[in-house]
Amino acid sequence: MSTGFALFQHAEILYSQGKVDETFEAYQRCIKKVLKNELLTAKLPHAVPNQVPQEFLGYAWMNFAGFFLDPNFNYTQDTAPEAYKLLHSFCTSSGRDHSRFRGTQGQILLKAMQIVAGLTLGLLAWDKSDRATAAKRYQEALDIAATHPPFNQILPASKHLDLFVATQVQQVKDNLEILTQKDDDNAQLLRAVGFGGGQLRKEVLNLPQMRRTATGEFVVEKTITSATDACAHCGSRAAKLRRCTCRRVAYCNTECQKLNWKTHKMACQAGR
């Protein structure tokens, strides 16, 4: 039976030959083999650039996710369901067992793979216009990064896994900021036309609006969908705010909820 590293080498050869589908499949087999019964934190036997992981599994995961991220390949949940299932298994809400990632280095590598999965799943959701799910995946990735400081910021001394993941985290932050800003813009538009709403994640509002696409074309979107929640007290937006028990509003924290109680009290009691 081939080892994970042998499968990895085979994938590299296939890619050099321009065999994209075969390469993608080989990377999946490689990752599954290592996850099943090989040393997860093993390093590559040769030097690699500072921008990429030294860990063999981390390097393979980077390349695997890259196939989803490259629009020229068109790998999605619909076109590559088994590969998507593997990617999604590292989503923090998947419930999959990752107990083989033991020790400090194993846990760091697991977090790195979860962050890369979060970014990739977020972009795939965004491509499907599911902005709410995209924001959720980005927030999950940021929550993981917050538990390991070297992933949170690119420093002069950063290299290999730390540098690679910190670069991914910066993209997550940028993408989430874009989604949040668009929600703010949509909320202002709704207020300007006397149309309430748009404060809760996944809330769909039937208000047509003109949007310019990446190619410069103008299109009419039939609805406005919120990707993030807005705090009913201070207005701050995020994909991970705490909803009131009535589910009508969300808050940053208990303090914001207490400060807003006089305003929300009647509506909250009516909604129960």
The answer to whether residues 201 and 226 touch, using CB atoms and an 8 Å cutoff, is: yes
More reliable by pLDDT, 91 or 270: 91
In this predicted structure, the answer to whether residue 27 has a pLDDT above a threshold of 90 is: yes
Band (pLDDT 50/70/90 cuts) for residue 201 is confident
pLDDT of residue 207: 65
User: Please, which residues have CB within 8 angstroms of residue 75's CB and are 6 or more apart in sequence?
Assistant: 24, 67, 68, 83
State the DSSP H helix or E strand holding residue 113, giving kind and residue range, or none if neither.
helix 103-127
For 40-66, how does the pLDDT look when each residue is reduced to its tens digit (9 = 90+)? 999 999 999 999 999 999 999 999 999
Classify 94 as helix, strand or coil: coil
In this predicted structure, the answer to whether residue 258 has a pLDDT above a threshold of 90 is: yes
CA atoms within 13 A on the CB side of 2: 15
By CB atoms closer than 10 A (0-12, 13-18, 19+), residue 211 is: exposed
pLDDT of residue 68: 96
pLDDT of residue 56: 93
pLDDT of residue 156: 94
In this predicted structure, the answer to whether residue 218 has a pLDDT above a threshold of 70 is: no
Task: Please name the residue ranges forming H helices in 152-203.
Answer: 160-192
pLDDT of residue 168: 95
What's the alpha-carbon Rg for the chain, to the nearest Å?
Answer: 21
The answer to whether residues 230 and 251 touch, using CB atoms and an 8 Å cutoff, is: no
pLDDT of residue 34: 97
Share of the chain above pLDDT 90, in %: 70
